[in-house]
Structure 1
Amino acid sequence: MRESFHGDLARLGEQLGAMCGLAAEAMRRANRALLTADLQLAEEVLTGDDQLDRAREACEEQAQSLLALQAPVAGDLRTILAAVYCAEKIERMGDLAAHVADAARFTHPDHAVPAELEGVFTELGEIGAGMADRVGELILGDAEGGHAELDETDHAVDALHARALAAITKDDWAHGVQAASNLALLARFHERFADQAVSVAKRLEFAETGRTSTT
């Protein structure tokens, strides 16, 4: 019975890891659509968001079944409850990627990101997607230390977010108020995507160790 239970736990982890892969790919594709004004790619990201929604529902159903049928305690209970929490956060990461894709669709055929900020938004997308990939590795491997690692990476995202905001609020900003507002939202979507990844890493570490990171 316990062997079957831990097999079910492992499958739950695999589901969460797959969700991280979907979120990472959604952000990569959304950011590519944003930077290239690719309407078809943006539409594909928006359509694909349902897949993450269904994956979250499947994780929650699996977790609820384990809670009802196995009555887990201690570390196993932490793991199951963490899975529910993490599934919600990862699904939210997918929503944020979809928001980026929606911005690309809204501004098409124009480019939402002016040339002087393309580098900033390229980095934001790459770092955020990489954080999602790393969360997937933590889920399937050793989560201890993962929160501190991703929290450090998040500092780079915060710095890029600040650079974007500084650029759009300069006196010599040449692209108008509407563009500035759109870019502020886009930078926020990227920043929140990274924040969700950090939050998942923190909960994973707690589930594994029973300790809450102080970083």
Structure 2
Amino acid sequence: MREVFQQELREVQERLVEIATLVEVSIENATSAFNESNVSLAETVIANDDKIDALTVSLDELAINILARQQPVARDLRIVVSALRISSSLERMGDMSEHIAQLARYRFPEKVVPKTLRSTFAEMGRLDVEVARKLTELLRTEDVAIAEQIRNDDDRIDELHLSVFDKVLGETWKGGAEDTVDATLASRYHERFADHAVSIAKKVQYLATGDWQVSSTPAS
């Protein structure tokens, strides 16, 4: 009976990694669609979000079933409960990717943001993809050093997010109302994607070490 239970716990981890891998592909395609004005790629991201949602529901059902049948305690209980919370964050990351892709689709054949912001969004997209890759590896290995790397990447994304607001609110901004709204929304989606990754990283570190802090230094 214990062996079956442990196999179910391993299946929970494997399903989290599977969902994270799909999210990784989703944000990579979404940011490419956004930066390159690739409507075909954008449509692919939007269509594939249903698969992420379905896998999340399936994982939640498995976790709830384990809670009902096995009544886990201590670390085993934390694993199952954390999986429920992590799957929710992964689903939201998939939604952020979809929102980015939707902006690309709505503005096709034009690019979503003016030329003055394109390098900023290219860097934000690159960092989001890097965060997603690291998150998949973190869920696979529980290597807490990766959690710190995700936090550092998120700090940089936050800086870029603030720079977008500084730009659109500045006196030299020449974009229209549509440009302002698009840039603001797109920046928020990129920033929230990374925030959810940090939230997951904290939960994984807690499972591995019992410590809620991703970093030993206090957050600003």
Q: Which runs of 4+ in 1 moved over 6 A?
A: none
Q: Where in structure 2 are the equivalents of 1:47-196 lying within 5 Å?
A: 47-196=47-196
Tell me the TM-score normalized by structure 1: 0.95
Contact 1:143 1:201 in 2 (8 A): no
Secondary structure, in 3 states, of the residue corresponding to 1:189?
A: helix
**Aligned residue in 2 for 1:22:** 22
Deviates further, 121-130 or 76-85 = 121-130
- How many corresponding residue pairs? 215
Pair 1:143–1:81, CA change in 2 (3 A):
farther
Q: Where in structure 2 are the equivalents of 1:38-49 lying within 5 Å?
A: 38-49=38-49
**Aligned residue in 1 for 2:202:** 202
Distance in 2, Cα, partners of 1:8 & 1:126 = 35
Deviates further, 27-36 or 78-87 = 27-36
**Aligned residue in 2 for 1:9:** 9
State the shift of 1:159 in Å.
1.0
Distance in 2, Cα, partners of 1:214 & 1:59 = 25
Deviates further, 51-60 or 108-117 = 108-117
Contact 2:147 2:205 in 1 (8 A): yes
Structure 1 gaps of 5+ residues are none
Contact 1:23 1:129 in 2 (8 A): no
Supply the AA of the counterpart residue of 1:55.
Answer: L
Distance in 1, Cα, partners of 2:86 & 2:41 = 27
* Identity across the alignment (%): 32
Distance in 2, Cα, partners of 1:15 & 1:214 = 23
Secondary structure, in 3 states, of the residue corresponding to 2:205?
A: helix
Secondary structure, in 3 states, of the residue corresponding to 2:144?
A: coil
- Report which structure shows greater RCO (CA 8 Å, sep ≥6): 1
Structure 2 gaps of 5+ residues are 216-220
Contact 1:75 1:210 in 2 (8 A): no
Secondary structure, in 3 states, of the residue corresponding to 1:212?
A: coil
Deviates further, 78-87 or 153-162 = 153-162
Secondary structure, in 3 states, of the residue corresponding to 1:29?
A: helix
Distance in 2, Cα, partners of 1:132 & 1:214 = 16
